[in-house]
Amino acid sequence: MNFIIILVLALANTFQSNNKQNLQEYQFKSGMIRYKLEGRINGTELIYFDDYGKSFYDLKTIDNDDSRSENITLRILRADTILILNNIENAATESVISDLRLKTKHNIIYPELLFEMGYKKTAVEEVSGTLCDKYTGENGSMWVWNNIILKSEMEIMGIVVKSEAVEIITGIDIPKTKFQISGDYKINKQ
């Protein structure tokens, strides 16, 4: 997914000037997507969003084969504020977002942006019970449904990195507490 973030940010300036209002918003009021990650990292990613993406929760759990431990990173995006939690240090960083590009949600992409990056629509295929448009480019493929990347297979420095949605639910009630952090974290404001 990190490679996808770089791809999306690479052309975000062009797209941003044309469509500031709808930048990186979901087409659904709320939802949950669970991804399986394989390749350079193995693990899972759990995304909750509410208010069409204005509230965004991203929990990534990475399994380290060497130590069999888990590293958890959590990013919460609310309006113009981002919270990034570090569970190892029990600390959080809270920052105000003034640059729209920093609000990028790495699992959203628009067909126009894919075409600008040299991707071509090559098929319609099913991912986790959902029909997706498959886009193929020089470094790999992405399966997109309602501007949400449900699956990606990219080659990065000779390693195939995969991300695939294994569960998708839209239109669900998400507690507001999901977008807050517990009092156990020391918050550093920037």
List, for residues 7-23, the tens digit of each pLDDT value.
Answer: 433 433 334 434 444 44
Please state, in angstroms and rounded to a whole number, the distance separating the CA atoms of residues 122 and 58.
Answer: 29
Please state, in angstroms and rounded to a whole number, the distance separating the CA atoms of residues 51 and 73.
Answer: 22
* DSSP bridge partners of 70: 63
pLDDT for 1 beyond 80: no
Sign of the alpha-carbon dihedral angle for 130, 114, 101, 186: positive
List, for residues 116-150, the tens digit of each pLDDT value.
Answer: 999 999 999 999 999 999 999 999 999 999 999 99
Q: Which residues contact 176 (CB under 8 A, 6 or more apart)?
A: none
- pTM for the full predicted model: 0.78
For residue 24, the model assigns a pLDDT of: 57
pLDDT for 54 beyond 50: yes
More confident position, 54 or 174: 174
Please state, in angstroms and rounded to a whole number, the distance separating the CA atoms of residues 20 and 60.
Answer: 28
For residue 180, the model assigns a pLDDT of: 79
Domain coordinates of the chain in residue numbers?
2-107+155-189
Please state, in angstroms and rounded to a whole number, the distance separating the CA atoms of residues 69 and 67.
Answer: 5
pLDDT for 32 beyond 80: yes
Which pairing describes strands 140-145 and 42-50: parallel, antiparallel, or unpaired?
Answer: unpaired
Report residue 73 as tokens: 């990173």
Please state, in angstroms and rounded to a whole number, the distance separating the CA atoms of residues 50 and 56.
Answer: 7
Please state, in angstroms and rounded to a whole number, the distance separating the CA atoms of residues 38 and 23.
Answer: 28
The CATH classification number of 2-107+155-189 equals 2.50.20
